[in-house]
Structure 1
């Protein structure tokens, strides 16, 4: 009976750590999807010829950043004030959130849990 409580406590701690880390990754993914949606919304308000994505997937993060890079000059000419005050801070937040997500995936205890739970780094 001496080691059973120790192993139960250790197992509970490990399970709780897995749950917290998985929840953290899910929240970061939701924030990335939300920020990419905001970027597309602002870009569409500046230029109606751009298409907005219909799905809210994590793949849209890369599409949003690439679309911004391609149409940066056109969007700046359309409305410089909205570009500077709304679009640039949002795209910077998106890039920072993406970098933070990828950095968290590379750290040792989190990378092990991310592999088990199926979280992939963003390109």
Structure 2
């Protein structure tokens, strides 16, 4: 066969392998990390406003938005992330499903003292640093 045909065949298989690698392994991990950063930012803002002993509408809306983050976290863990990454999280004592459960509860809490306790629990489950 001609070298051009071999180049096309090899290029096709390398491209197919690259697509599968990006689509099913690399992209889900980056999506999970991006979601984790969003959760950390929202928790920081909610905690800062709860220390003022007064929550305004924007903060309450952000707390309600934690439900959406919890839903996305559950979706990532159960359907999107590869098994090896989930096992890696388990080995590192990171438990996103428990964190999602706590975030669902946190979204319904309106007292600042209880919010701070739940925020610390979510941070512990996701292994986030508190500022």
Partner of residue 50, structure 1: none
Calculate the TM-score normalised by the size of structure 1: 0.56
- Matching of residue 121 in structure 1 with residue 63 in structure 2: no
Aligned to 1:103: 75
Q: What is the Cα deviation at residue 116 of structure 1?
A: 2.2
Paired residues in the alignment total 84
Q: Is the 8 A contact 2:77 2:97 kept in 1?
A: no
Q: How high is the TM-score relative to the length of structure 2?
A: 0.54
Match of 2:128 in 1: none
**Cα pair 1:42 1:86 within 8 Å, conserved:** no
Offset of residue 96 of structure 1: 1.7
Q: Which residue of 2 aligns with 1:6?
A: 12
**Counterpart for residue 53 of structure 1:** none
2:126 is aligned to none
**Any stretches of 5+ residues in structure 1 without a counterpart?**
47-78
Quick check: 1:35–1:90 contact (8 Å CA) kept in 2?
yes
Deviations 1:39-89 (A, max 9, x none): 11111111xxxxxxxxxxxxxxxxxxxxxxxxxxxxxxxx4xx34x13321
CA contact (8 A) 2:49 2:59 kept: yes
Q: Tell me if the contact between 2:74 and 2:96 (Cα under 8 Å) persists in the aligned partners.
A: yes
How well do the aligned residues superpose, as a CA RMSD in angstroms? Answer: 2.2
How far residue 106 of structure 1 moved from its aligned partner, in angstroms, is: 1.6
Which runs of structure 1 show a deviation greater than 2 angstroms over 4 or more consecutive aligned residues?
A: 1-7, 115-122
Using the alignment, how far apart are the partners of 2:11 and 2:59 within structure 1?
Answer: 54
